Structure 1
Amino acid sequence: MSVNYRQDLPPAGGFEAVKYKRNLPFRGPGALAILAGVTAFCSFGIYRVGMGNIERRELKRESTWARIHLVPLLLAEGDRAAYQDGQRAAAVEADIMKDVKGWVPRQSVYNNPRYREL
């Protein structure tokens, strides 16, 4: 008895290639692009800080010169206010001590030469 076996063989042209590589989609820019972006961003930040320093220095210079130019005016105003306060105090003292004979407003009460200033 003869049995005809049919052997299982690969298809004509062979099997297709085994796909063993991972098929990952593109996930963003590469390392060089990220490095270039960070470098550009930091450079822009340093530039802005430098410009801010220049502006702050200019504002400080302007404030200093304004203060220098205002000092004489402020001193004159302070002197005027002190003079007016002194005149007002002398008037109040004269009004309070009007009944005391020989009282001179704003004169030192220390008449002993030992306590006088040099």
Structure 2
Amino acid sequence: MSKTAYKQDMPPPGGYQSINYKRVPARTFFGGWAIIGGYIGMTAGAFYLYSLNYKAVKNRELEVHSANLALYPMLLAERDRAYLKQIRKNRDEENKLMANVEGWETGTWMGEPIYKTQPKDCFIEPNFYDYYVHSSYKDLKKRMITLNY
């Protein structure tokens, strides 16, 4: 075994520098009053811009709301009209399909009234599937998805 001389790491002559652990305060750009004044100024500016935008949005929404109120009765009437047209088409289609069946009376089941407690001339709203009975399956499916049936 040969002996090799190892050189150990030692501190530099005179020792290491002392570790600086004193508190170094952060540099201040603004004082407390400047920050409060800036906050108040920014808040006032933002409030002014908000009030300008609020007036414009309020006027726009007022016009849209007024238009909706004016059109709503017409849209309801058109919806009711389309509903009654579809019911009439269903009735006419039933008359056409059952024209060859003897004794068939539209709106009854084999000549027996479906609703015994209702007067004969009373309008009875059909259920969902009866309403779409003569429509295409595509229309029925689209409506079912829209209504989440």
Q: Which residue of 1 aligns with 2:7?
A: none
Return the alpha-carbon distance in structure 2 between the equivalents of residues 73 and 67 of structure 1.
Answer: 10
Return the alpha-carbon distance in structure 2 between the equivalents of residues 42 and 85 of structure 1.
Answer: 59
For structure 1, which runs of at least 5 residues remain unmatched after alignment? 1-25
Q: Structure 2-normalised TM-score?
A: 0.48
Q: Structure 1-normalised TM-score?
A: 0.58
Q: Which residue of 2 aligns with 1:58?
A: 59
> How does 1:98-109 map onto structure 2 within 5 Å?
98-106=99-107, 109=112
| 3-state secondary structure, aligned to 2:101 | coil
* Equivalent residues of 1:90, 1:105 under 8 A apart: yes
Give a deviation string over 1:70-94, Cα, whole Å, max 9, x none.
1122022112211220121012211
For structure 2, which runs of at least 5 residues remain unmatched after alignment? 1-26, 123-149
Amino acid at match of 1:110: P
Does residue 33 of the first structure (1) align with residue 34 of the second (2)?
Answer: yes
1:65, CA displacement in angstroms? 0.5
Structure with greater helix percent: 1
Does residue 81 of the first structure (1) align with residue 82 of the second (2)?
Answer: yes
Point out the structure with max Rg over C-alpha: 1
| 3-state secondary structure, aligned to 1:36 | helix
| 3-state secondary structure, aligned to 1:115 | coil
The aligned length equals 92
